[in-house]
Amino acid sequence: MVENPLCLKNLSIKELKQLAVEIRSDLSSIMSRTQISAKASMAVVELTVAIHYVFNAPVDKILWDVGDQTYAHKILTGRRSLMTTVKRKNGLSGFTSRFESEYDAFGAGHGCNSISAGLGMAVARDIKGRQERVVAVISNWTTMAGQAYEAMSNAGYLDSNMVVILNDSRHSLLPKIEESPKTSVNALSSTLSKLQSSKSFRRFREAAKGVTKRIGMHELAAKVDEYARGMIGPQGSTLFEELGLYYIGPVDGHNVEDLICVLQEVASLDSMGPVLVHVITDESQGDENNQKSDITDMKQDGGISFDPFKYDTLDNVVRPQTYGDCFVETLVAEAEKDKDIVVVHAGMAMESSLELFQEKFPDRIFDVGMAEQHAVTFASGLACGGLKPFCLIPSSFLQRAYDQVIHDVDQQRIPVRFVITSAGLVGSDGPLQCGAFDITFMSCLPNMIVMAPSDEVELMHMVATATHINDQPACFRYPRGALVGKGYTGGDGIPIKIGRGRILVEGKDVAFLGYGSMVQNCLKAHSLLAKLGIEVTVADARFCKPLDIKLLRQLCKHHSFLITVEEGSIGGFGSHVAEFIAVNGLLDGRIKWRPIVLPDRYIEHASPNEQLDQAGLSGHHIAATALSLLGRTREALQFMCSS
């Protein structure tokens, strides 16, 4: 097995094909041993081999748009022996990382960034007078994002030499063509889907295999180009060429000979400007069983609360009920009573929990694809039209649409209901998908109601609460992972009074004021401290904005120590509490306040419990903080060491 791209240069076409078979076998083994989906990487094995055969990384810069496509790249760049550690603590990242390998030219996580970053590198190369080549690989899934078109348009204008490879794959995240008339979420995905499924392309693909044997590769590439131009648009015109990129394709992404021929021709051009090579791939290539894995669904919707590495086969995995399930079931119950409720989501069709709403109300759910900015303003327009939109976006992806949240929603007091999923730490997906910042950036907005449930029953109540907020925007967050087990059986939630928290346990020594998921860890700390004879109050804040002022005054009046706990960054819930008690003179008395938040750094991938320990948010860490305030330092250290 080749473990360095330089070793590819001396291999024959036959040997390269065999290498692709071996890599695909490795990926299949990784899938079965780690339960991590590698289907997207399976689709680009031949493409990855061809790229590294033609180009000279790390001198030439190869950028991948999403991490799911990069496992074959990792295998070929010296990381084969570490592939079973992907997404595990101290193991390989599930994405490309500049900190992991010199072959990873740029970090890939959220998608649609490769062309922008690649163009920047190409322009820097030109200014510096260097000669390296820049290759950006983007998937059809991420071409739904506006940044990709902004980058292509700018690339066409600047006319710097770079290669954009569009991996047009039958991706498991994309709607399948045969499912219904309303499958593709935008015009480009529709066009690409029609191309992939067209009988003419399939016939051409089969014919090309025979033609390759009879004519030279250079002539074949020209014929592929000529044929593609006729299929994609009239008079050889394409969207990509209108943006200023020279279009080549479609090319069979599983034909190593064709790929090498086309890429060699492109690489040999010194003054071509930006070129887009359209490659057709199929995730089922080489997968005889073509197993459907629920792991991707579970990862997106929260099924990482179990250890995914202890199972031998996919059949052994029992999908736990998640917060996403609870949310959708509750929303369905509300939607059955209120015909104005609609759902907008940004490419979250892979979440199996959404299927229930889709089945019940197919005309009231809108998948806009990887287009968070559009999702927010589209939801705002729906609200202006008299509907009640619930806009589902993972915390780390909502960052993209913050300008729209401010100007198109909050500033105009438009009642969009933001459902922030994957909030807080996300385990194996590490810092790129971590939902660390939403409490901070949503709670600073003047008109936004900000809340977070401590368990599944509270989530039901917050869905009902959001449904009844019709004069301003609101948001609530929930984490990945299984439900905490509060006897959830489905049904209707009960609206909560805005800005009203609750006390769960009363004590006299220390007060824990938890926000969202951290209320459960406060209860764990309470149990640990109770064994030491320490009486603790545990309160569930429920709301970050508006704060429960009455509850805060009560906690400060009856306790000497107040500890706020949240699974978010600095500047969030604890900061709002601190400002209130400081401005109102409560810190001038006997109360001592301590915040527990995510540390001011990025938490690398590990299991959820390992990440909580690293962040200092476990029940043991919370208990240790209380012991330190009480002057019981030795016991605090013991708790820290036992976590």
Least confident of 164-168, 233-237, 370-374: 233-237
Angle at 385 between CA 380 and CA 386, to 5 degrees: 100
Report in angstroms the alpha-carbon separations of 108 from 63, 96, 466.
8, 5, 34
Range list of H helices, 129-246: 146-158, 187-197, 199-214, 217-232, 239-242
Which tens digit of pLDDT belongs to each residue from 465-477?
999 999 999 999 9
Q: In this predicted model, which residue has the larger pLDDT, 7 or 395? A: 395
Give the CA-trace dihedral at 307, 311, 313, 318, to 10 degrees.
-60
Task: Output the pLDDT for position 93.
Answer: 81
Contact 630, 509 (CB under 8 A): yes
Give the pLDDT band of residue 302 (cuts 50, 70, 90). Answer: very low
Contact 460, 492 (CB under 8 A): yes
Instruction: Give the CATH fold of the 323-477 domain.
Output: Rossmann fold (3.40.50)
Give the separation between CA 365 and CA 367, rounded to whole angstroms. 7
Task: Output the pLDDT for position 219.
Answer: 54
Sign of CA dihedral 1, 42, 482, 416: positive
DSSP 480-525: SSB---S--------PPPTT--EEEE--SSEEEEE-TTHHHHHHHH
Least confident of 244-253, 484-493, 619-628: 484-493
CA contacts within 13 A on the Cβ side of 128: 9
Task: Output the pLDDT for position 228.
Answer: 44
Q: In this predicted model, which residue has the larger pLDDT, 205 or 588? A: 588
Task: Output the pLDDT for position 350.
Answer: 55
Strand order in the sheet with 510-514: 502-505, 536-540, 510-514, 561-565, 592-596
Residue 5 reports pLDDT greater than 90: no
Q: What does the pLDDT average to over 62-91?
A: 84
Q: What does the pLDDT average to over 504-515?
A: 97
Contact 376, 391 (CB under 8 A): yes
- The reply to whether omega before 320 is within 30° of 0 (cis) is no
Q: In this predicted model, which residue has the larger pLDDT, 58 or 292? A: 58
Q: What does the pLDDT average to over 204-208?
A: 49
Least confident of 299-313, 327-341, 471-485: 299-313
Task: For residue 545, list its beta bridge partners.
Answer: 450
Give the separation between CA 248 and CA 225, rounded to whole angstroms. 5
Confirm whether 5-282 and 323-477 share one CATH topology.
yes
Task: Output the pLDDT for position 84.
Answer: 78
Provide the residue ranges of all domains of the chain, joining segments of one domain with +. Answer: 5-282, 323-477, 502-642
Residue 400 reports pLDDT greater than 80: yes
Least confident of 193-197, 247-251, 505-509, 525-529: 193-197
Name the pTM for this structure: 0.75
Which residue from 492, 525, 500 is spatially nearest to 510, judged by alpha carbons? 525
**339 phi and psi, to 5 degrees?**
-70, -10
Task: Output the pLDDT for position 296.
Answer: 39
Task: Output the pLDDT for position 85.
Answer: 80
Residues 6+ away with beta carbon under 8 Å from 593: 561, 562, 563, 564, 577, 578, 581, 587
Contact 290, 284 (CB under 8 A): yes
Return the structure tokens found at 40: 């997207």
Which tens digit of pLDDT belongs to each residue from 216-258?
444 544 544 444 444 444 443 478 888 889 999 889 999 999 9
Residue with tokens 């006299």: 508
Give the pLDDT band of residue 308 (cuts 50, 70, 90). Answer: very low
Contact 580, 501 (CB under 8 A): no
Task: Output the pLDDT for position 35.
Answer: 64
Residues 6+ away with beta carbon under 8 Å from 74: 80, 83, 86, 92, 101
Query: Of all residues in the chain, what percent carry a pLDDT higher than 70?
Result: 82
Task: Give the CATH number of domain 502-642.
Answer: 3.40.50.920
DSSP 340: T
In terms of Cβ atoms closer than 10 Å to its own Cβ (0-12, 13-18, 19+), residue 502 is middle
Candidate ranges 122-126, 165-169, 238-242, 543-547; pick with highest mean pLDDT: 543-547
Residue 502 reports pLDDT greater than 90: yes
Task: For residue 167, list its beta bridge partners.
Answer: 139, 279
Q: In this predicted model, which residue has the larger pLDDT, 106 or 438? A: 438
Which tens digit of pLDDT belongs to each residue from 531-584?
999 999 999 999 999 999 999 999 999 999 999 999 999 999 999 999 999 999
Contact 398, 438 (CB under 8 A): yes
Least confident of 210-214, 238-242, 367-371: 210-214
Query: Of all residues in the chain, what percent carry a pLDDT higher than 90?
Result: 54
Give the separation between CA 408 and CA 401, rounded to whole angstroms. 10
Instruction: Give the CATH fold of the 5-282 domain.
Output: Rossmann fold (3.40.50)
Task: Output the pLDDT for position 65.
Answer: 87
Contact 455, 484 (CB under 8 A): yes
Looking at every residue in the chain, the average pLDDT score rounds to: 83
Residue 45 reports pLDDT greater than 60: yes
DSSP-based three-state secondary structure for 57: coil
Residues 6+ away with beta carbon under 8 Å from 318: none
Residue 638 reports pLDDT greater than 70: yes
Q: What is the CA radius of gyration of the chain?
A: 27
Residue 387 reports pLDDT greater than 80: yes
**268 phi and psi, to 5 degrees?**
-80, -10
Task: Output the pLDDT for position 241.
Answer: 86
Strand order in the sheet with 543-545: 365-367, 341-345, 388-394, 417-421, 474-477, 449-451, 543-545
Residues 6+ away with beta carbon under 8 Å from 369: 141, 144, 145, 185, 186, 189, 346, 347
Q: What does the pLDDT average to over 91-115?
A: 83
Residue 184 reports pLDDT greater than 80: no
Q: In this predicted model, which residue has the larger pLDDT, 142 or 246? A: 246
Give the pLDDT band of residue 514 (cuts 50, 70, 90). Answer: very high
Q: In this predicted model, which residue has the larger pLDDT, 352 or 290? A: 352
Q: Pairing mode, if any, of strands 61-64 and 561-565?
A: unpaired
Least confident of 274-288, 439-453, 470-484: 274-288
Q: What does the pLDDT average to over 297-326?
A: 52
Least confident of 92-101, 247-256, 386-395, 489-498: 92-101
Give the pLDDT band of residue 307 (cuts 50, 70, 90). Answer: very low
Task: Output the pLDDT for position 109.
Answer: 66
Phi-psi region of 104 (alpha: psi -120 to 50; beta: other; left: phi over 0): beta
Residue 173 reports pLDDT greater than 80: no
Least confident of 265-279, 404-418, 457-471, 594-608: 265-279
Task: Output the pLDDT for position 97.
Answer: 82
Task: Output the pLDDT for position 177.
Answer: 35
Give the pLDDT band of residue 491 (cuts 50, 70, 90). Answer: confident
